[in-house]
Amino acid sequence: MILDSKIPEGPLAEKWKNHIARGKLVNPSNKRKYEIIIVGSGLAGASAAATLGELGYSVKCFSFHDSPRRAHSIAAQGGINAAKNYQNDGDSVYRLFYDTIKGGDYRSREANVHRLAEVSMNIIDQCVAQGVPFAREYGGTLSNRSFGGAQVSRTFYARGQTGQQLLLGAYSALSRQIGLGTVEMFCNQEMLELVVVNGEAKGIITRNVNTGQIQRHSAHAVVLGTGGYGNVFNLSTYARNSNATAAWRAYRKGAAFANPCYTQIHPTCIPVSGDYQSKLTLMSESLRNDGRIWAPKKLGDKRPPNEIPEKERDYYLERKYPSFGNLAPRDISSRAAKEACDEGRGVGETGLGVYLDFSDAIERLGEETIRERYGNLFAIYKEITNESAYETPMRIYPAVHYTMGGLWVDYDLMSNLPGLFVMGEANFSDHGANRLGASALMQGLADGYFVLPNTIPHYLADVPREAAPSIDGPEFAVAELEVRDRTNKLLDNNGTKSVKSFHKRLGEIMWNYCGMARTKEGLEKALELIPQLREEFRKDVRVPGEGKELNQSLEQAGRVADFLELGELMCRDALAREESCGGHFRVEHQYPDGEAMRDDESFAHVAAWEFKGEDKVPERHVEPLEYEETKFTTRSYK
């Protein structure tokens, strides 16, 4: 397998401009002759579908939801970064680029990240023109807030629901194109297989989740904007239906999967309250501006927090990282919380939680100020836990929040499988080993609005202008048969255990052995346990109901079956990466003070895995990362 990143020549800041200027184009009158399938209607999918439709291509967009607007991009709270420098605080494209590279712990491509920083400004312009109601100052100009990992204020936001507003902007642009007939929208259609014709991606097989109908769709190119795979962990901040099936099917058809072990664990989520829990809810990072994180010094201290005297509290972030204190980056804060709980100093019923205490801030600033700043977050906390954070400290615990890994793509966002493009969280490209806050929305929209529409012609220009391959071709027939087989096998399995029970067990294995801290032994253990669980799943899963109507157990079963394979790949990747970087922390690789120890000699590369067959060991390929502009430095927050 050749992993050619196709990074353009020239100085870093000129690469993107030159690439657009010199790339091949498709004649406007020929564009409609090219059919493009876009799977997913989140920020990346909707913005790409709208833009490509507007350019004149014949676009088909697929979503398993009843409406494109429900994609999980909608749940992002905090904001979106852009190097506008509206605050006159020294921001620039270079600074956003640099912060993102450093935040990613030097494991992302310089050229991609620089491009992201460049187009970040166009995104804000575009969204404002669409009517996205960003927060504004009294004078009518846009307002900004600060986010972790940056020393400037460059985050644009719309109350606590920036993701929803940006998605609705992209959805409105998509709706307009659907109304104009340039995009055909397929709702309630889940992609279950990728069709490869002569080594190139030329179609997909979908199942209508409401009717069970299996359909073939062909095109000149297939674009995936299907999101991340954090639901491997079962409990996460992902939506319940977020899944990796589309990406996993592409992987099994030959697309390389890059850096699967890079997962982001967000430090401030509401802890698990019981066995029944289906979902973890994020509490914005901004709370750490005024809240102090602590755990009791004594092991197993079950006293209510207000009865634990000051000298028996351990403000461990302030103690370990005096200069950053409670504002230490996500990965570091998460690991510190886990350590405290592992030592037996965790709080709450389950012992998996630490306190985020606002009493000092309330004393200093008054309850009113705190209410103004965080009122809505305190309300969410109250809604979920029935506790008032004004009176008693919040309990928080880290949770899986984002996956930096994904399908490997080159500079044009095309995977190693020609004709298959991957955008947003589904690809691996821009965040390295750790993503900074407010960068996910930026990447999704950058890919959809500005990158893909400029790079897809580079591929299409060489594709003959004749019709897309016939859906009656043998490749489509075989792919459909595979889907039918898998579906029927699940339905006819007549096992004894529910899909959910397997998902939960997989989640536990992943969290314990491939979560915040990973060890060789643990990962090897997981690599034993996961295939066993997968085997048990195949033998003993029970999927009630029929295939020709809405069957949520069946949908979930297909997704969990893929997670059971993907989980193994994640562990394999984590085991192979003998270093600690960003969201990937190997206990064996740390400095004496417990900080992550990167190995730039051996691991300054992208690891991309190639599928070698059912239950066979996949092959690890390497794309070296070359840094022209930036120098490796150790991240220190002391």
Partner 1 sequence: MNVKLRVWRQKNSETEGSFENYEARDLNPNMSFLEMLDVVNEDLTNDGSEPIAFAHDCREGICGTCSCMIDGKPHGPETGVATCQTYMRSFKDGDTITVEPFKANAFPIVKDLVTDRKAFDKIQRSGGFVSVRTGAAPDANAIPIGKDIADLAMDAAACIGCGACVAACKNSSAMLFVSAKAGQLNLLPQGQPEKDTRVLNMVATMDEAGFGNCTNQYECSAACPKLISEEFISKLNRDYMSASVKKLFKAKAL
Phi, psi of 418 (to 5 degrees): -55, 140
N- to C-terminal Cα separation, the chain: 42
User: How far from chain centre, in Å, is Cα 377?
Assistant: 23
Q: Does 449 bind partner 1 (CB under 8 A)?
A: yes
Helix, strand, coil in percent for the chain, rounding step 5: 40, 15, 40
Subset of 412-441 contacting partner 1 (CB under 8 A): none
Distances (CA, A) of 496 to 393, 493, 500, 539: 43, 9, 12, 9
The closest of 538, 525, 507 to 572, measured between CA atoms, is: 525
Q: Taking the complex as a whole, how short is the minimal distance between the CB of residue 531 and partner 1, in angstroms?
A: 24
628: amino acid identity, one letter: E
Q: Does 139 bind partner 1 (CB under 8 A)?
A: yes
User: What is the DSSP code string of 460-516?
Assistant: HTTS-SSPPPPTTSHHHHHHHHHHHHHHHHHHT---SEEHHHHHHHHHHHHHHHSSS
Comparison of 274 and 474: residue with beta carbon closer to partner 1: 274
Comparison of 282 and 433: residue with beta carbon closer to partner 1: 282
Q: Does 544 bind partner 1 (CB under 8 A)?
A: yes
Among positions 289, 552, 634, 636, the unique one binding partner 1 when judged by CB under 8 A: 552
Q: Which residues partner with 600 through β-bridges?
A: none
- Interface characters, 119-138, with partner 1 (x: CB under 8 A): ---x-xxxxxxxxxxxxxxx
Interface with partner 1 (CB under 8 A), residue total 82
Among positions 168, 194, 354, 606, the unique one binding partner 1 when judged by CB under 8 A: 168
Q: In the structure encoding, which two tokens stand for residue 136, read together?
A: 């504004």
Comparison of 108 and 243: residue with beta carbon closer to partner 1: 243
Subset of 80-109 contacting partner 1 (CB under 8 A): 84, 86
Q: Which stretch binds partner 1 (CB under 8 A): 238-246, 359-367, 480-488, 592-600?
A: 238-246
Report the C-alpha gap between 363 and 530 in whole angstroms.
50
Burial state string for 95-114 with b = 16 or more CB within 10 A and e = fewer than 16: bbbbbbbbbbbbbbbbbbbb
Q: Taking the complex as a whole, how short is the minimal distance between the CB of residue 274 and partner 1, in angstroms?
A: 5
Q: Taking the complex as a whole, how short is the minimal distance between the CB of residue 35 and partner 1, in angstroms?
A: 20
**Contact at 8 Å (CB) between 194 and 249?**
yes
Q: Which stretch binds partner 1 (CB under 8 A): 109-117, 446-454, 561-569, 600-608?
A: 446-454
Q: Does 493 bind partner 1 (CB under 8 A)?
A: no
Report the C-alpha gap between 572 and 510 in whole angstroms.
12
Subset of 24-83 contacting partner 1 (CB under 8 A): 47, 50-51, 54, 65-72, 74-75
Among positions 186, 411, 450, 603, the unique one binding partner 1 when judged by CB under 8 A: 450
Subset of 296-335 contacting partner 1 (CB under 8 A): none
Comparison of 66 and 615: residue with beta carbon closer to partner 1: 66
Report the C-alpha gap between 221 and 456 in whole angstroms.
9
Distant-in-sequence, close-in-space partners of 379: CB < 8 Å, separation ≥ 6: none
Residue 207 annotated to the active site: no
Comparison of 240 and 364: residue with beta carbon closer to partner 1: 240
Report the C-alpha gap between 617 and 611 in whole angstroms.
8
Subset of 254-283 contacting partner 1 (CB under 8 A): 273-274, 276-279, 281-282
Q: Taking the complex as a whole, how short is the minimal distance between the CB of residue 132 and partner 1, in angstroms?
A: 8
Exactly one of 330, 505, 534, 586 is catalytic; which is it? 330
**Looking at the annotation, which residues are catalytic?**
330
